[in-house]
Structures are given as structure tokens and as C-alpha cells.
């Protein structure tokens, strides 16, 4: 098989959040996550209990290892002859270690893929700030793969899973799409001042899936709020929303975690544990569908985005794969896109 042209990109870096892999990792990991935010130790201890339910080990690193392996296999089968690396913001393997290894291996320009599909400070710019710091003194060229909320390879796995769940559910089943809540101010600045891109993008993905699956009724809810009580975050919380649905006579729900690419802690605790318990207390039938994980369409999407960005970096005209009414996310974000509301910091493109 002839190699596909990926110039000037000569490697792919998977960029993720990271998670603890043993009980003794949990508090140090949470301290990394919350550094500089003044979160009291008692709050960290409360969150640590979520991880201890699962033996002190987050599933996210294992899921990233599986995704890296799947991408490598897909690349090899489709003539994409570049290595795949992986680095985390908050736990080993750290971004700086990954970038050093890439430089030692002779990489000059890497594309980086964020395990976050939507526009927001915490889902995009914060990763880019961390990459800027990690790249200091290494100076690799870095090309961001566009955010992919409306790429068919991201939407199709949810359509498959939701259709399967609805096929075996009562006719009046209500579909609840769920994502990670963020501060209202962060949402307002996502995509640019006043753009509210985070909320709009999720609404579009929910519409696409619901329309394709023929959902009788659907809504969007949020999970994993972690801010101070006085700070407004996007609502409704999934547990409050289930209670509202029950009060309206809903007895069956299918929960679709469209904010997440894999079944990590916010899914297995917030949805599979807490929300499932709330539904049980309400005598409500509850199904949670799978995230993309290593669905073949999702893995193939990564390859498509690499080739798309490589062509753009070569100055070629690129036709981006999208579904729905939203335009493709740009390869490079503007300076006012998804701002850091606490402190302006440099970020990689």
C-alpha cells in the first residue's frame, strides 16, 4: 500500500485530561486538576470518594491506551505512516514528557487531537495553554485538529447506540442528552464573545441524533458541576432533570452522554452511579448508551482530521466532513475564542 501524504505533519499527539491509576494517586491528581483555584481540601476529599468507589482508578487512561492502539492500527491499514503519541494535562503520561519523547524521536511537526469535541475554555484553550507551557524549550511545531462535534465520525456512534437503545425501550421513552456542565460565563465566551458555542453545539448534536433516531421527545441536561455554589453553571443537573421528568409522567429514559468521547469518570460515576440511582428512586426505567470509544467511525474520523489538517497546512483547499447546519470548526482559533476568564495566558495555535 502506498503511503498517504501527511506532510508537513510527521506525528499525531493524543491530548487528554488524565486520571489516577491507584488509590494513592487520587489526591495528587485532584491537586493537579485544581491547582491555583483555591479549592479546599475537604472538597477534594469529597471528589476523591467518587474515585474510591472504583478502587481509586479512573478508567480514562486505559481507554486512551485502547484508542491509541486503535488509531495506530487504522493508520497502518490505511497507509498513514506516522507515529502516534499520547500525553495528559493532569497525570502521567504528562504532555511535556510526550513532547520530549517526540523531539528525541525526530518529530518536527505534530498534529494534536483533543479528547474534547466542543468549543469551551476547559475543552480547548486550556489544553492549548498547557501545550504552550509543555513545549517551552522543545519548540515542536504543533497543528491542532479541528474540534469535531459535527463530524459524522463523532455523531454516528451515538446514533447507532441510541437507535439500539430505543428499539428495545417503551414507545414513550424520553431521550436525555447529557454533557459536562461549565460556568455560564465560560459558555458565553465559547466560540467568541457572546457566541455561546458550547451550548449551541450540543443542542445541534442532540437534534441530529434525535432526528435520525426518531426520538419522541428529548432534552439536554448537564452533569459534573464542580464550581463554587455562588457561581452560575449550565443547568439543569441530570438528577434534578430526572425528577422534573418524573413529575411530568415520564417513566422511561435513554441517557446519551454526548459531551464525552469515552466512558470515563463523569460517565461511570455521575451517570451510571448517581443518575441511575436517582432514576431507580423514581421508579424510572433508565438506559445509558455507549460513548464513541473505539467505534470504527470515530477512529476513522481521527485519520480524516489528520489528512484534512495536513492538506490545509500545505495550503490546499480542504472540504471538511460535517453533518448538520453548523460550519466546520476552524483549524486555528481566534484570540478571543473561548477566553481564559481569570488570566490571559499564551496558548499554542
Q: What is the pLDDT of residues 102-151, one digit of tens each?
A: 999 999 999 999 999 999 999 999 999 999 999 999 999 999 999 999 99
H-assigned helices in the chain: 26-34, 41-52, 60-77, 95-104, 126-134, 152-167, 184-189, 197-213, 238-247, 265-268, 276-281, 296-313
In-domain check, residue 325: no
Shared-domain flag, residues 46 and 159: no
Shared-domain flag, residues 274 and 298: no
Shared-domain flag, residues 58 and 165: no
pTM of the predicted structure, to 2 decimals: 0.96
In-domain check, residue 159: yes
Shared-domain flag, residues 40 and 135: yes
Shared-domain flag, residues 62 and 187: no
CATH number of the domain that residue 175 is part of: 3.40.50.1400
Those residues of the chain that have pLDDT short of 50 are: none
In-domain check, residue 72: yes
pLDDT at 36: 74
Shared-domain flag, residues 85 and 109: yes
Shared-domain flag, residues 101 and 181: no
Domain boundary, last residue among 273, 288, 303 = 288
Shared-domain flag, residues 23 and 144: yes
Shared-domain flag, residues 182 and 141: no
CA 74, CA 72: separation in Å to the nearest integer?
Answer: 5
In-domain check, residue 321: no
pLDDT at 226: 80
pLDDT at 111: 98
Beta-sheet pairing, 11-16 with 109-114: parallel
Neighbours of 155 (CB within 10 A): 26
In-domain check, residue 337: no
In-domain check, residue 340: no
Beta bridge partners of 111: 12, 143
In-domain check, residue 70: yes
CA 11, CA 31: separation in Å to the nearest integer?
Answer: 31
Q: Report CA-CA distances (Å) from 287 to 61, 168, 326.
A: 25, 10, 29
pLDDT at 47: 86
Shared-domain flag, residues 61 and 178: no
Shared-domain flag, residues 140 and 179: no
Contact status, residue 119 vs residue 199, Cβ threshold 8 Å: no
- Relative orientation angle of helices 126-134 and 95-104, to the nearest 10 degrees: 50
Domain assignment of residue 220, given as a range = 152-288
pLDDT at 21: 95
In-domain check, residue 319: no
User: Where on the phi/psi map is residue 249: left (φ > 0), alpha (ψ -120 to 50), or beta?
Assistant: left
Q: How many domains does the chain divide into? A: 2
pLDDT at 34: 86
pLDDT at 40: 80
Shared-domain flag, residues 277 and 195: yes
pLDDT at 45: 87
Amino acid at each position: 500500500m502506498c503511503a498517504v501524504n501527511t506532510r508537513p505533519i510527521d506525528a499525531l499527539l493524543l491530548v487528554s485530561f488524565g486520571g489516577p491509576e491507584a488509590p494513592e494517586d487520587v489526591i495528587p491528581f485532584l491537586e493537579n486538576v485544581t491547582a491555583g483555584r483555591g479549592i479546599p481540601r475537604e472538597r477534594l476529599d469529597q471528589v476523591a470518594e467518587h474515585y474510591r468507589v472504583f478502587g481509586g482508578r479512573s478508567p480514562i487512561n486505559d481507554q486512551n491506551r485502547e484508542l491509541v492502539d486503535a488509531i495506530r492500527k487504522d493508520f497502518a491499514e490505511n497507509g498513514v505512516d506516522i507515529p502516534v503519541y499520547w500525553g495528559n494535562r493532569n497525570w502521567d503520561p504528562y504532555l511535556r514528557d510526550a513532547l520530549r519523547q517526540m523531539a528525541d524521536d525526530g518529530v518536527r511537526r505534530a498534529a494534536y487531537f483533543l479528547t474534547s469535541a466542543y468549543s469551551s475554555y476547559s475543552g480547548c484553550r486550556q489544553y492549548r495553554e498547557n501545550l504552550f507551557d509543555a513545549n517551552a524549550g522543545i519548540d515542536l511545531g504543533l497543528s491542532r485538529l479541528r474540534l469535531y462535534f459535527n463530524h459524522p465520525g463523532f455523531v454516528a456512534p451515538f446514533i447507532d447506540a441510541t437507535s439500539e437503545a430505543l428499539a428495545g425501550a417503551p414507545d414513550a421513552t424520553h431521550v436525555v442528552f447529557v454533557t459536562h456542565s461549565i460556568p455560564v460565563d465560560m459558555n458565553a465566551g465559547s466560540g467568541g464573545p457572546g457566541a455561546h458555542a458550547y451550548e449551541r453545539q450540543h443542542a445541534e448534536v442532540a437534534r441530529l441524533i434525535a432526528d435520525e433516531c426518531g426520538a419522541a421527545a428529548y432534552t439536554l441536561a448537564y452533569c459534573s458541576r464542580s464550581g463554587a455554589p455562588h457561581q452560575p453553571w449550565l443547568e439543569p443537573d441530570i438528577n434534578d432533570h430526572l425528577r422534573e421528568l418524573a413529575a411530568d409522567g415520564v417513566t422511561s429514559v435513554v441517557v446519551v452522554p454526548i459531551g464525552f468521547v469515552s466512558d470515563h469518570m463523569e460517565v461511570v460515576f455521575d451517570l451510571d452511579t448517581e443518575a441511575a440511582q436517582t432514576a431507580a428512586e423514581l421508579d424510572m426505567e433508565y438506559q445509558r448508551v455507549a460513548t464513541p470509544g473505539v467505534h470504527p467511525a470515530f477512529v476513522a474520523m481521527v485519520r480524516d482530521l489528520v489528512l484534512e489538517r495536513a492538506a490545509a497546512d500545505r495550503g490546499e483547499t480542504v472540504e471538511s466532513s460535517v453533518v448538520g447546519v453548523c460550519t466546520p470548526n476552524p483549524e486555528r482559533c481566534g484570540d478571543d475564542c473561548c477566553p481564559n476568564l481569570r488570566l490571559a495566558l499564551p496558548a499554542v495555535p
